[in-house]
């Protein structure tokens, strides 16, 4: 009989961030080069290397002025990638959000990252389907893309917590 495969998440634990984590959250988001705005520690869930206490990965859910909720700041430090850490953070944040709200969860990403989020139930949506915050954001980014980069576009994705009526 073949022995069971080792758990790639062995030695990784998950916990809500604390005030003392603010600096490392900001540093990791800078290191991986994603949106550096709205990195408030109370919104964050962290993956931690249990042996060293080092933060291995991050994710958050932030709420916008129009009430829409966004999964954001999904990042795994390079040395910890490919072990399912980001997936585990995403699943935990989705479960946490579903416990707090029945409203859909949104995210924004570059178009090349769309396939990464689809297995978690996120689907790309059109401007007509977007809450005000994301419609404005996408309008602004499209305007900038026109001048800067034409090959990568901003995707807005949505995940429904509840199945649509009648299904
Ligand atoms: C993207 C990122 C968070 C993935 O972290 P990770 O901990 O290595 O991810 P996981 O190990 O949980 O991978 C989950 C799945 O996504 C897949 N995946 C990883 N990167 C992917 C990509 N760029 N496109 C499509 N799928 C991808 C993995 O193959 C894995 O699939 P599997 O479960 O079928 O094997 C990490 O590479 C990172 O921090 N990148 C820089 C920051 C970034 O781009 N964040 C997302 C902003 S929208």
pLDDT in tens, 139-155: 888 777 766 666 678 89
For residue 39, what are its two tokens? 């990195």
Residue 120 has a CB neighbour count (10 Å cut-off) of 17
Verify whether ligand 1 is closer than 6 Å to residue 81 (CB atom): yes
Q: What is the pLDDT of residue 4?
A: 73
| Cα 93 to Cα 3: distance, rounded to the nearest angstrom | 32
pTM over 0.85: yes
CA atoms within 13 A on the CB side of 128: 0
Beta bridge partners of 123: 158
Verify whether ligand 1 is closer than 6 Å to residue 34 (CB atom): yes
Q: What is the pLDDT of residue 15?
A: 98
Verify whether ligand 1 is closer than 6 Å to residue 115 (CB atom): yes
Q: What is the pLDDT of residue 143?
A: 73
The stretches in the chain having pLDDT less than 70 are 1, 146-151, 162-167
3-state secondary structure of 96: helix
CATH number of the 12-159 domain: 3.40.630.30
| Cα 63 to Cα 80: distance, rounded to the nearest angstrom | 28
> What's the angle, vertex CA 53, arms to CA 97 and CA 48, rounded to 5?
30
Residue-wise over 74-107: b if at least 16 C-beta within 10 A, else e?
A: bbbbeebeebbbbbbbbeebbeebeeeeebbbbb
- From 78, 116, 117, mutation site for ligand 1 pocket: most ligand atoms within 8 A of C-beta: 116
| Cα 167 to Cα 163: distance, rounded to the nearest angstrom | 7
Q: What is the pLDDT of residue 1?
A: 67
Domain ranges of the chain: 12-159
Per-residue pLDDT tens over the stretch 113-132: 999 999 999 999 999 999 99
């Amino acid at each position: 009989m073949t022995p069971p495969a080792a758990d790639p998440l062995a030695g990784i634990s998950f916990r809500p961030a604390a005030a003392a984590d603010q600096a490392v959250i900001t540093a990791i988001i800078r290191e991986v080069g994603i949106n550096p705005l709205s990195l408030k520690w109370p919104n964050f869930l962290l993956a931690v290397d249990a042996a060293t206490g080092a933060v291995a990965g991050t994710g958050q859910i932030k709420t916008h002025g129009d009430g829409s909720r966004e999964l954001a700041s999904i990042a795994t430090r390079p040395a910890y990638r490919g072990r399912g850490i980001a997936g585990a953070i995403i699943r935990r944040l989705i479960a946490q959000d579903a416990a707090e709200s029945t409203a859909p969860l949104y995210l924004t990403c570059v178009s090349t990252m769309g396939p990464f989020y689809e297995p978690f139930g996120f689907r790309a949506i059109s401007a007509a389907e977007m809450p005000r915050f994301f419609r404005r954001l996408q309008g602004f980014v499209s305007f900038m893309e026109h001048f800067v980069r034409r090959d990568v576009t901003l995707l807005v994705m949505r995940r429904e917590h509840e199945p649509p009526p009648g299904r």
